[in-house]
Amino acid sequence: MDYATRSAQASSYHASCMAKLASTPIPEGQKFLPGERVRIAQDLGFGRTYHDGKGCMATVKHTHAHAYGGRDVKSYCLDIDGIGEVSWYDESNLTAENA
């Protein structure tokens, strides 16, 4: 399969998953809800230095499980203030805005 075909398939799958989010129940065990404001930790731990947004505020978009199925309710896609949408941040690196 060539790159263009694979890229088109991936884009189509992503779009269909995003369209289902509104009608898909929040998975059991998900700590932060879509729309909730969180702060990203300054120190994301070993091997996580490449992530944008350290110390920034962000809005939760969804977890991996909520968007794509499966059991991973600890990995979050965030809309980071001043940066945009970035995936995946571990739940342990996030704090609720009101905490």
pLDDT per residue over 28-42, tens digit each? 999 999 999 999 998
User: Which runs of consecutive H residues, i.e. helices, occur in 1-99?
Assistant: 3-20, 64-68
Please tell me the predicted confidence (pLDDT) of residue 73.
98
**Is the overall model pTM greater than 0.85, yes or no?**
yes
Instruction: Write down the pLDDT at residue 47.
Output: 64
Considering its fold, how many domains does the chain have in total? Answer: 1
> Domain range spanning residue 59?
3-96
Q: Give pLDDT < 50 ranges for the chain.
A: none
Instruction: Give the three-state DSSP class for 79.
Output: strand
- Dihedral sign (CA 6, 8, 14, 20): negative
pLDDT of residue 51: 65
State the pLDDT at residue 53.
83
Residue 91's domain is classified under what CATH number?
Answer: 2.30.30.30
pLDDT of residue 38: 98
